[in-house]
A and B are shown apart, each in its own frame.
Chain A
Amino acid sequence: MTNKEKYVNAFTETFDITEEETQGLQYSGIAAWDSVGHMSLVAALEDAFDIMMDTDDIIDFSSFEKGMEILSEKYDVEF
């Protein structure tokens, strides 16, 4: 599985949505991505990439695209 696939998977499985729906998705844009969902998403991403995110990055993680930016810039995940 590529990193992009792993990344998309974390979203589709945590929020029970399709791959198309991940595009442009924003925090609290859907009911499932609320503060509870957010922590589940973080857990899923941390497991998928074997990383531990900083609290600041968890807070800044505000959209599907922003998350990719954070993971590639700070956690050496190449997409």
Chain B
Amino acid sequence: MNFEDMLQTSPYSLDKEEKGRFLTERLGELTEKHRESCPQYRNMLESAGYDSQKLCSYKELPFLPVRLFKELELRSVPKEEVVKTMTSSGTTGQAVSKIYLDRVTSANQQKVMVKIVSDFTGSSRMPMIILDCPSVVKNRQMFSARGAGILGFSIFGAKRIYALDDDMKLDVDGLKAFLEKYQGQRIFLFGFTFMIWQHFYKELVRLKEEGITFDLSEGVLIHGGGWKKLINEAVSPQEFGQRLQEVCGLRHVHDYYGMVEQTGCIYMECECGHLHASNFSDVIVRRPLDFAECEMGEKGIIQVVSTLPESYPGHSLLTEDEGVVLGEDDCPCGRKGKYFKVIGRLKNAEIRGCSDTYAEKFR
């Protein structure tokens, strides 16, 4: 099965063997493509002693540290073909990653993201509440990860409203009017974990004391961007969901894991609370000492592979996150592929993630 066929296939359909074959072929091709077109990448492959003839599995492919995209300008297409440059969210003073997208990569990112998310929300579009402020998507040449996330998910919104103003204050009247107008319909909500907690949840709690309540029992919330700050505040994912349900009736909440370096291939949390790898990407958890693959259930550093990057050599990356693979092809939710848990950032790693970098301001 080639990549084009895969775009027509249900996103969690491949079992371990089929997926291994698909990933090995596609990722091997991408490695060759980037070797030819990106001189810095070619040098790295050479110094790593990579030999494409000996490649038996995608798990043997070299991986680049995500940090490298901050230090080097890595592109596999001429400058003129770059249609969009995405930047990571960084706290002040941190260098930001720059990811260069051509038309094909950018289109595939959107297609794959829609396939993955539709598997959880259905393909029909819904009235959408963006739990963020409108200024995030203002600079259109340079997309922050936060803006890109909002924009990517906006395709599911039939009518859209930003719940926060540019001072991050909840627009109570606007929200009331919006919910009244679309009463009885399923509502899609999207935002970043910490912003939701700080500027939406806490405000709803305060408003409830004043007797102002919102009914979001027909809502489905997708959120991502990191838990670090909330873990410091002792808010677990379970509690996050429970508390939101208590204050506004929201029952369907899905976290996701993803990064700007591999936009499109997000890892959605299923009904059982597991993050899932789709047909288009995979996670490999590695031991910090020798980078050997961990056993199932063993904690290690997360490597991510994605079949999408054609314009930059980011198809195999070592993250700075710790995680653990919980199982493969046998999640009770019925989706095939690996399912896993992210434990947190490695010690001494820089702070990143849309939610976490923002949260730094609240220290």
- Cβ of A2 < 8 Å from any Cβ of B? no
Residues 69 to 124 of chain B near chain A (Cβ within 8 Å): 83-84, 103, 106-107, 110-111, 114, 118, 123-124
- The answer to whether the Cβ of B151 comes within 8 Å of any Cβ in the partner chain is yes
**Chain B nearest Cβ from A29, distance in angstroms:** 10
Q: Are B107 and A55 in contact (CB under 8 A)?
A: no
**Option from B84, B106, B125, B151 in Cβ contact (under 8 Å) with A52:** B125
Instruction: Kindly state the separation between the CA atoms of A79 and B224 in the bound complex, as whole angstroms.
Output: 42
Asked if A59 is an interface residue, CB under 8 A from chain B, the answer is yes
Q: Please tell me if A36 contacts chain B, counting CB pairs below 8 Å.
A: yes
Chain A residue at minimum C-beta to C-beta distance from B137 = A36
Q: With A and B bound together, what is the CA distance between A55 and B114 in angstroms?
A: 7
Q: Which residues of A contact B110 (CB under 8 A)?
A: 35, 59
Q: A36-B137, A59-B110 are in contact. Are A46 and B155 (CB under 8 A)?
A: no
In-complex Cβ contact of B151 among A39, A56, A58 (8 A): A39
In the complex, the answer to whether B151 meets A36 with C-beta atoms within 8 Å is yes
- Asked if B156 is an interface residue, CB under 8 A from chain A, the answer is yes
Interface presence of A50 (CB below 8 A): no
Question: Does B343 belong to the interface (CB within 8 Å)?
Answer: no
Q: Which residue of A lies closest to B111 (CB)?
A: A59
In whole angstroms, how far apart are the Cα atoms of A35 and B159 in the complex?
16
Choose among A28, A34, A55 the residue that contacts B155 (Cβ–Cβ < 8 A): A55
B151/A55 in contact, CB under 8 A: no
Bound complex: CA A78 to CA B159 (Å): 25
Number of residue pairs spanning A and B whose beta carbons lie under 8 angstroms apart: 39
A58/B158 contact (C-beta < 8 A), A28-B103, A36-B140 known = no
B319 beta carbon closer than 8 Å to chain A:
no
Contact B114–A59 (Cβ < 8 Å) = yes
Query: Which residues of B lie under 8 Å from residue A73 when comparing CB positions?
Result: none
Check if A20 is an interface residue, CB within 8 A of chain B.
Answer: no
Cβ-closest chain A residue relative to B138: A36
Contact A35 to B111, CB < 8 A, known contacts A28-B103, A52-B125, A55-B156: no
Chain A neighbourhood of B111, CB < 8 A: 59
Min CB distance B79 to A, Å, is 15
Contact A46 B158 (CB under 8 A): yes
Q: How far, in whole Å, are A10 and B125 apart by their CA atoms in the complex? A: 21
Nearest opposing residue in chain A for B107, CB measure: A59
Q: Are B125 and A55 in contact, with the CB atoms below 8 A? A: yes
Cβ distance B112 to chain A, nearest Cβ, rounded Å: 10
Contact B103 A39 (CB under 8 A): no
**Does residue B193 face the partner (Cβ distance < 8 Å to A)?**
no
Give the distance in Å from the alpha carbon of A58 to the alpha carbon of B110 in the complex: 10
B262 interface hit (Cβ, 8 Å): no
Inter-subunit contact A58/B83 (CB<8 Å): no
Kindly list chain A residues whose C-beta atoms are within 8 Å of the C-beta of B155.
39, 55, 58-59
CA distance A27 to B151 in the complex (A): 16
Name the distance in Å between B342's Cβ and chain A's nearest Cβ: 27
For A54, the chain B residues whose CB sits under 8 A away are 123-125
**With an 8 A cutoff between CB atoms, is B307 at the interface?**
no
Flag whether B154 is at the interface (Cβ < 8 A).
Answer: yes
Closest-CB distance, B179 to chain A (whole angstroms) = 19
Within residues 1 to 58 of chain A, which ones have a CB less than 8 A from any CB in chain B?
28, 31, 34-37, 39, 43, 46, 52-56, 58
Digitize B118-150: 1 where CB-to-A-CB distance is under 8 Å, 0 elsewhere.
100001110000000000010010000000000
A39 and chain B: residue at smallest CB distance: B154
Residues of B within 8 A of A36 (CB): 137, 140, 151
Q: A39 contacts which chain B residues (CB < 8 A)?
A: 151, 154-155
Tell me, in angstroms, the Cα distance from A44 to B59 when the chains sit together.
46
Residue numbers of A with Cβ under 8 A of B are 28, 31, 34-37, 39, 43, 46, 52-56, 58-59
23 contacts between A and B (CB under 8 A): A31-B140, A34-B84, A35-B84, A35-B106, A35-B110, A36-B140, A36-B151, A37-B140, A39-B155, A43-B159, A46-B158, A52-B125, A52-B158, A53-B125, A54-B123, A55-B118, A55-B123, A55-B125, A56-B114, A56-B123, A58-B155, A59-B107, A59-B110
Closest 3 CB pairs of A and B: A55-B114, A28-B83, A39-B154
